[in-house]
Amino acid sequence: MPRYTVHVRGEWLAVPCQDAQLTVGWLGREAVRRYIKNKPDNGGFASVDDARFLVRRCKGLGLLDNEDPLDVALEDNEFVEVVIEGDAMSPDFIPSQPEGVYLYSKYREPEKYIALDGDSLTTEDLVSLGKGHYKIKLTPTAEKRVQKSREVIDRIVEEKTVVYGITTGFGKFARTVIPVSKLEELQFNLVRSHSSGVGKPLSPERCRMLLALRINVLAKGYSGISLETLKQVIEVFNASCLPYVPEKGTVGASGDLAPLSHLALGLIGEGKMWSPKSGWADAKYVLAAHGLKPIVLKPKEGLALINGTQMITSLGCEAVERASAIARQADIVAALTLEVLKGTTKAFDTDIHAVRPHRGQVEVAFRFRSLLDSDHHPSEIAESHRFCDRVQDAYTLRCCPQVHGVVNDTIAFVKNIITTEINSATDNPMVFASRGETISGGNFHGEYPAKALDYLAIGVHELASISERRIERLCNPSLSELPAFLVAEGGLNSGFMIAHCTAAALVSENKALCHPSSVDSLSTSAATEDHVSMGGWAARKALRVIEHVEQVLAIELLAACQGIEFLRPLKTTTPLEKVYDLVRSVVRPWIKDRFMAPDIEAAHRLLVEQKVSGLPVLFFSLGSLRGSRASLVAQLVKNPPAIQETHVQSLGWEDSPGEGNGNPFQYSCLEIPWTEEPGGLQSMGLQESEMTL
């Protein structure tokens, strides 16, 4: 029998339907009838017939025709809202934002699983889990660790031992012993009282990341959660039932208590919850619609769910992955600008960077050499000014390896800290099954990810700072030798004049956002928690800084492609022509002024989706191809005719386990001449997806 969950004036009603041929109007009237029946004053209605209403889906807010049959208009177990004429929007109803509609249309239940063991999760994996690409399962080893950890807690309860957070209160109440009969109530009270965050809810993707990361930490087996409860949490994740988690309220020690409490609140069937099936609704109804039951907390389990740095760190994973993506693409955008401004490639000479061998600087210089004029892929634009009298370029062009390079090194440093943090136990107290005891400590303190993410924001911001100056050079005719603001009939048309102002505004905002949040600390919990990290704000503002960087580089990308229009019929290098073609596939050239914001958003989307760094040109930054230097060179040069005059350049290597293959070196970059036919490289085990800028 079909059943629908209907929201009427703050009440959620389950309405069964014996005949699917009944109409949407019948469903609305039946929901109003049930609503009136439950109200002492009939909800202000004399009868059901007096009610005038509209019916709409909770997901997407689409209005439904009252005459449509239910089996045509709705799916079984769908969530709908009955809006009474004359009513204001119910305060309990959380409408989907426009991006929410996008999420509904994009979400497909994943078929693949990631096995979590608490020790080997990567930042890439967590971002993929957030996007809904995988479900979760535990490894057998993790299950055994969780069971042994729980046995310690059960013994503490049975023996009535006084242990913080298990048989006592919390924070200032740590010396208050709780009777055994009230230990479960203690855990529920903890979750409810600590659910005190404010602000907008995390997006579904970020909430998935938060939930997945908490599961990974619990899988380590130091939290004392029962295997039964942990498997219930995994079922909730796999059904994509995501609690309402406000983004503000954590001070980053003792862990991210407020956001993780909101996460746990949904798991116990309280508060709001979202799923692709329901949109926002009461958690108990969302769980029921997916055949799930609210979790009943056992001693210590509330604390196990809410004590840790997972809010800071999950947002930090997104930040570091987006930073990595935009840093790679910033080199490409800058190279295109240098080409338009008729810069020289001499500043990227190998010998210059060999005598200052910072890894990031060397790699960025290599990327520029790979993209700009060379014997492998000549540029007609570069040839046109080969014998000009200019000796050297401005710093914003010449110093890209030095400026972009340290950004790359910053990202690598931060990624190392975040990767350690996502595979760390951050509870208090910690349960050590091997010793049969619990120990109180401070692993919940978020100083590590907080400091790292403040550093990330400062580092990545520089990509926007230098990009904005390059935009100025493109728009300024005295510096670019191009039409003012990159448009014909200047005066009648303003071209990129205000697009540059937008870039300047974003860079200025970033200057304020780059002030480190982790230099602040306020004593909380009656001076029990007298030093905190403020890591939640560090993570949130790092993401804002990175978004601004993406937007500034999107404007530079558009400006550089527009500059190319004034250099035609000359062509740039093959890789950069591919970049130009990609941009022109979504944004046409400016002949005269037009509404520019959609074009900036289109270019921004290319960068966010990593389309610019995913073009099939032969530039490699290899972390997977391993081998000794001699054998790797030999392997490449034995592959004619696809590769001719192969030039291989090692950019430094490091000792590596070799994943069992016995090879001691890992290469970071290879320089290979351009070819339209990648088939010769495929014989070396390189797939087309690996052949990227």
Is the Cβ–Cβ distance between 64 and 24 less than 8 Å? Answer: yes
| Distance from C-alpha of 363 to C-alpha of 523, rounded to nearest angstrom | 44
Largest CA distance in the chain: 91
Helix (H) or strand (E) holding 537: helix 535-565
Rounded to the nearest 10°, the torsion over CA 553, 558, 562, 564 is 60
Burial zone of 47 (CB within 10 Å; 0-12 exposed, 13-18 middle, 19+ buried): exposed
Tell me the CA distances in angstroms from 13 to 35, 79, 95, 326, one per residue in order: 8, 10, 18, 47
Cβ neighbours of residue 516 closer than 8 Å, sequence gap 6 or more: 451, 454, 458, 538
- Write the DSSP symbol of residue 225: -
| Distance from C-alpha of 150 to C-alpha of 156, rounded to nearest angstrom | 10
Is the Cβ–Cβ distance between 581 and 617 less than 8 Å? Answer: no
Tell me the CA distances in angstroms from 459 to 124, 320, 406, 412, 453, one per residue in order: 20, 11, 7, 11, 10
CA 633 distance to own-chain centroid: 37
| Distance from C-alpha of 259 to C-alpha of 267, rounded to nearest angstrom | 13
| Distance from C-alpha of 673 to C-alpha of 646, rounded to nearest angstrom | 6
| Distance from C-alpha of 197 to C-alpha of 536, rounded to nearest angstrom | 12
Cβ neighbours of residue 248 closer than 8 Å, sequence gap 6 or more: 197, 198, 199, 536
Residue in the block written with tokens 């990009």: 467
| Distance from C-alpha of 216 to C-alpha of 142, rounded to nearest angstrom | 9
Tell me the CA distances in angstroms from 427 to 177, 409, 536, 600, one per residue in order: 20, 31, 17, 44
In 3D space, the residue among 498, 26, 59, 515 whose CA is nearest the CA of residue 276 turns out to be 59
Task: Identify the active-site residue in 164, 285, 448, 667.
Answer: 164
Work out the number of other CB atoms within 10 angstroms of the CB of residue 151.
15
164 classed as catalytic: yes
Could you give the residue numbers annotated as active site? 164
